[in-house]
Structure 1
Amino acid sequence: MTMVTSVQTDFRRRLLDGLAAAIADIGYRDTTVADIVRLARTSRRTFYEHFTSKETCFVALITETNDEMIRRISAAVDPTASWPTQVRQAVEEWLACSDAQRAVTHSWIRDIPALGVLGRDLQRDLMEKFIDMVQSLTDTESLRAMGIGRVSRQMAIVLLGGLRELIASNVEDGGEATDITETAVQASIALLGPRG
Structure 2
Amino acid sequence: MNSDAFPAAEALLLPGARTGRDPARSIKRGPSRLPPDVVAATQRERLLDGLVHTVAQQGYQHATVSDICRAAGVTRPVFYELFSGKEDAFLAAHRHGTGVVIRRMAAAFAAAPDWCTGIRESLRALLNLLAGVPAFATMAVIEIEAVGPAGRREIAQLLTRFRAFFAEVPEPPGGVGVEALVDAVVGGVYRTLHRAIDAGRTDQLPDLLPALSLFCLAPFLGPDEAHRRLVAVPTVPAAPATSASSAAPPQVTAAGPDADGDPSCTRIDPPDTGQ
Q: What TM-score, normalized to structure 1? A: 0.81
Say whether residues 1:107 and 2:139 are aligned partners. Answer: yes
Question: What is aligned with 2:207?
Answer: 179
Question: Residue 126 of structure 2: which of 94, 98, 118 is its match?
Answer: 94
Do the aligned partners of residues 63 and 153 (structure 1) sit closer, same or farther apart at CA in structure 2, a change above 3 Å counting? farther
Counterpart Cα distance in 2 of 1:114 and 1:80 = 37
CA distance in structure 1 between the partners assigned to 2:133 and 2:215 by the alignment: 23
Residue of structure 2 equivalent to 1:124: 156
* Equivalent residue, structure 2, for 1:157: 183
Query: Do the aligned residues in 1 keep the contact of 2:116 with 2:217 (CA within 8 Å)?
Result: yes
Distance 1:192 1:102, change over 3 A: farther
Q: Deviations over 1:102-133 (max 9, x none)?
A: 2322332332233222222222222222223x
Q: Give yes or no for contact 2:46–2:72 (8 Å, CA) kept in 1.
A: yes
Verify the 8 A CA contact 2:60 2:147 in the aligned structure 1.
no
- Residue 45 of structure 1: CA displacement? 0.5
Report the Cα offset of residue 66 of structure 1.
0.5
Q: Which has the larger radius of gyration?
A: 2
Return the alpha-carbon distance in structure 2 between the equivalents of residues 106 and 155 of structure 1.
Answer: 27
Map of 1:1-196 to 2, 5 A cutoff? Answer: 3-78=35-110, 81-132=113-164, 134-135=165-166, 138-139=167-168, 148=170, 152-175=178-201, 176-193=204-221, 194=264
- Bigger relative contact order, structure 1 or 2, given CA contacts below 8 A and separation 6+? 2
Output the amino acid matched with 2:148. Answer: G
Distance 1:115 1:52 in 2: 15
CA distance in 2: counterparts of 1:159 and 1:97, whole angstroms = 20
Mean Cα displacement is larger for which, 62-71 or 80-89?
80-89
Aligned partner of 1:31: which letter? A
Deviates more, 1:152-161 or 1:171-180: 152-161
Residue 15 to residue 152, structure 1, CA distance change in 2 (3 Å): farther
* Cα deviation, residue 153, structure 1: 4.4
TM-superposed CA distance for 1:77, in Å, is 2.0
Deviation at 1:52, TM superposition (A): 1.4
Structure 2, unmatched stretches of 5+, are: 2-33, 172-176, 222-263, 266-275
Partner of 1:77, secondary structure, is helix
Number of aligned residues: 184
Q: Give the aligned CA root-mean-square deviation in angstroms.
A: 2.6
SS in 2 for 1:42: coil
Shift of 1:80: 5.0
1:41-93 deviation line (CA, Å, top 9, x unaligned): 11001111111111111111111110100000011124552433222101111
- Give per-residue Cα distances to partners, 1:134-175, cap 9 Å, x unaligned: 14xx54xxx8xxxx36x9544333222211111121223332
Quote the sequence identity (%). Answer: 27
**Distance (whole Å) between structure 2 residues aligned to residue 48 and residue 192 of structure 1:** 49
Structure 1: runs of 5 or more not aligned: none
Per-residue CA deviation, residues 15-64 of structure 1 (Å, 9 max, x unaligned), is: 10111121333333322111110111110011111111111111111111
